[in-house]
Structure 1
C-alpha cells in the first residue's frame, strides 16, 4: 500500500522515491525499456502510463493481474483495484475494469482459486472519501498510515462484494493467497501490534503466526505453500521500540528500517534472511522456492533509490536484478514461472508516475 502504500502491503515509498525524477533509460539492442545490466528480463513491456500503479499480482492461470492505481484519468481520487489481461494488453489509451467500489481507499488485491473472485482490503465501510494521508514529521521522516477502517473483502470480477472476511476493530489488510488455494495470510493490528495471521479462504480458522514487537507485513507464500516470506521491522534500542509503539497508537508506521524474514506457514522456524540495513521489502519467492526477490535501498546513497535484488533463503548469493535510478519494487513471478511483473519509475518522462512493467524471466 504505497500510500497505505500503495502502502503497506503491501506500500509506499513510491511518493518518496518519485520525488527524484527518473532520467532516461539506457537502451539495449533488443529492448528499449531495459538497462544494459538487466540480464534476467527479456521483452520488457510497459502496461500503465500514468499515476501510481503497484502491487500487481497474477491470476492462478498466469493470464491476468489485479493491481491498485490512483490514476486520475480513470476517475479515481486514491487507490482503487483494477484488473487487466496480460497478453496483448496496453493501458495507454484504455481504462481497465475497476473491481473495487470506488469508495474509500483500497490495497493489496489477490486472485482466489478459480480466478473468478479476488480478495482485497478497503476502507469504504469507514466512509466514502479517501482517508487523509499523514503529514511528514518536522524531521522529515516518511510515515505510512495504518488506517483502522481497513477490512478484507471478497469480490467477483464484476466488482460485486460477495463476502467480508474480517470484522475486528483496527487494521486488517495485505492479504495474499497460497498457491495451494487453501489459505490466506494477512496483517492485522487486532492484538495491539502489526502481526501476521493466516485464515482459510472462507475467513475461518484465523491463527496468529508472528508475535514479536514490530511491523510484520507484505507476506507471500512459497510456491509449495509451506513457507511464508515477509518484511519486518525490529529494534536495536528501547527508544526505537517506544517510537514504534507511539506511532502505532496514531495509526502510523515509519518504514525506514526493515529486513526480510521467512517462516513455516504455522509461524515456526522463523529466520531472518537479510541483514542489509535500510529498507528491504516487497519480497516474493522465485519459482524454484529456494530464492527470494525483493526491493531494497541498502545499496544507494540516496535513500529513495530502490532496486530489485535476489537472495538465497539462507541469506547468501545476493544479486542485483534491476537498475532503475529511482524506484523498482513489487515484483511477482507468474505462477507458471515464465514472466515477472513489477512497478517502476522508469520511462516516466520526468514525472512522478510509477507504472507496471511485465517481462519474460530469464534465469
Structure 2
C-alpha cells in the first residue's frame, strides 16, 4: 500500500484480467470505480509487488525478459507451467511424489524490476539464471533486500543499488528456504517466513524439491530478526503449521500479522493472526497470550496475504469469502484495530474517529454511467481563459487538458466515446524514451487519475485502436524483438 493509503499494488490473474498467470496491477483506493491498471508487461509471470520508498515507483519480480514467444503469441502461452501440473506428474514419478504434499512453485529465471507509476521499466536489479524475488527497499533508496537461490536453498540477501555485484547474506547459513520479507516502519527489524529442515532426510527433500522449482510447504514458520539479520527467532506459537507472509502491524514493531493454517482441520484453509512478538520469549504456555485470531475461521473460507497502511489504520487482505468458487480470491479493505479492545464506536486504538461516520468508499464510488456526469461533458468554469482556450476559437467549447507531461499524440476514441487511446513518451514523465500505448477514462478527471498503460512497456508502439466491444485493443509494437540487459546506473 502506498504511504498515504491512496493506492494499492497487487498480483492477480484469471477472469477479467485475461491471463492465466500473475501480473502486477495498481488499484486507486480513492476511486474504486476506476479499473485496476496493469504495471507489468502482461506476459510471463510477475509477483510480489511493493512500492519503492518515497515514490510511486513499484518493485516486483518477473520472468518476462526470459520468456520465449510462441509463433501464435498470446499472453497465456507465455505463462510458466506449474511443476505439479498433471502432465508433469504423469511423466515423472519423482514430481508425482513431491506433489503429494503441499508445495509452492518457485519459478526459475525471475529477476527484480523497478517500474514507474505507469509501468515502464527504469531499473533491473538482478540478472540471474536462478530465482530472485520477495524484494523491498530501505527508505534511504540505497539498499534492497531480496531472496535468491543459492547452494543452500533460498536465502535473504541485501545489496547496494549502485553496486549490484556484491550482495550480502542476511539469513543464517545452512540448508533452508526463506521468503516473504517485510520490514518495520523504523527499519529495526525484519520478519519473513521460512523452513529450516533439521534432519538429513528433510534437507535432502528440500534440495530435491528446489531442483524441480518447488518449495515443500507442509511446515512453514515465521521468523523475526534484527535488520542486519542478527538475532533470528522463530515464532514458536505457530511452529509446525503452514504460516506465511508476515507484515508489521504497529509503530513499535512488536506486533505482526500473518497467514496461517494454525488450529485448522484442513491444511489448505488459512486465517490471519495478530501476534505480539514480545511474548515469544515467555515461559512455556504463556507465549499463547500474544496470539489473537484476526479473521474468523468459517468452513472452507481462507483469508491471507495481509497488507497494512503506513499509519496502521487500514488492512487489505485476499479472501475467497463471498465467492462461488473457493479458488477465486478477491481483495478486501477494512479499518484495522490493533488493540482489539475498543468499544463502539470503533476507534482502532490509535486514531481519532470523526463525529460523522464516513460512508463506505464502495458506495461513494459507484460508477455513474450517465453522460451528464462524465467529466468530459461537465462545463469548464470560464471560456477563453487565454491559457488553453483562446479568443477566436468560436467553434470550440469546454476545452480541457488531458495529459500533463511528456509527448502525447494520436488519440482515438472508443466506440462509446468515453475512453481515449493515445501513444506517449517522455523520460521525465513516463519513464521511457519511446512511445507506449495508454488509455484515458474521459469520465474521470485526468488530473486526479493516471492514464492506464495498455502496452507491454518494452520497445516502441504506435497506431492504437480500441475494439468496438471496449474489452480489447490493437496496436503495433516491437517488444518481441527487444533484448533486456541489466541496467547498473
Equivalent residues in 2 for 1:170-181, closer than 5 Å: 170-178=130-138, 181=141
Higher helix share: 2
1:134 maps to 83
Equivalent residues in 2 for 1:1-363, closer than 5 Å: 58-90=1-33, 95-127=35-67, 128=69, 129-135=78-84, 137-138=96-97, 140-178=100-138, 181-201=141-161, 204=164, 206-210=167-171, 211-276=173-238, 277-288=240-251, 289-314=253-278, 315=280, 316=287, 317-325=290-298, 326-363=301-338
Check whether the contact 2:49–2:59 (CA below 8 A) recurs between aligned residues: yes
Shift of 1:275: 4.3
Check whether the contact 1:152–1:165 (CA below 8 A) recurs between aligned residues: yes
Higher mean alpha-carbon deviation, 135-144 vs 191-200, is at: 135-144
Check whether the contact 1:60–1:115 (CA below 8 A) recurs between aligned residues: no
The alignment partner of 2:16 has SS state of helix
Query: TM-score with structure 2 length normalisation?
Result: 0.59
Check whether the contact 2:318–2:332 (CA below 8 A) recurs between aligned residues: yes
Query: TM-score with structure 1 length normalisation?
Result: 0.79
Distance change >3 Å, CA 203–CA 287, structure 1 → 2? farther
Could you list the runs of 5+ residues in structure 2 that have no partner in the other structure? 70-77, 90-95, 281-286, 339-489
Higher mean alpha-carbon deviation, 178-187 vs 222-231, is at: 178-187
Check whether the contact 1:259–1:275 (CA below 8 A) recurs between aligned residues: no
Distance change >3 Å, CA 192–CA 240, structure 1 → 2? closer
Check whether the contact 1:69–1:79 (CA below 8 A) recurs between aligned residues: yes
Between the aligned partners of 2:163 and 2:28, the Cα distance in structure 1 is 28
Shift of 1:212: 3.1
Check whether the contact 2:28–2:36 (CA below 8 A) recurs between aligned residues: no
Could you list the runs of 5+ residues in structure 1 that have no partner in the other structure? 1-57
Q: Please give the per-residue CA displacement for 1:266-311, whole angstroms capped at 9, x wherever unaligned.
A: 1111111234222011111112311111111021111111101111
Between the aligned partners of 2:115 and 2:163, the Cα distance in structure 1 is 14
Between the aligned partners of 1:203 and 1:281, the Cα distance in structure 2 is 31
Q: Could you say what the CA RMSD is over the residues aligned between the two structures, in angstroms?
A: 1.9
Check whether the contact 2:152–2:176 (CA below 8 A) recurs between aligned residues: no
Q: Please give the per-residue CA displacement for 1:231-283, whole angstroms capped at 9, x wherever unaligned.
A: 01022422111111111122211111011111111111111123422201111
Number of aligned residue pairs = 303
Check whether the contact 1:80–1:106 (CA below 8 A) recurs between aligned residues: yes
The alignment partner of 2:236 has SS state of coil
Between the aligned partners of 2:163 and 2:294, the Cα distance in structure 1 is 36
Larger radius of gyration: 2
The structure with higher relative contact order (CA 8 Å, sep 6+) is 1
Q: Deviating runs (4+, > 4 A) in structure 1?
A: 179-182
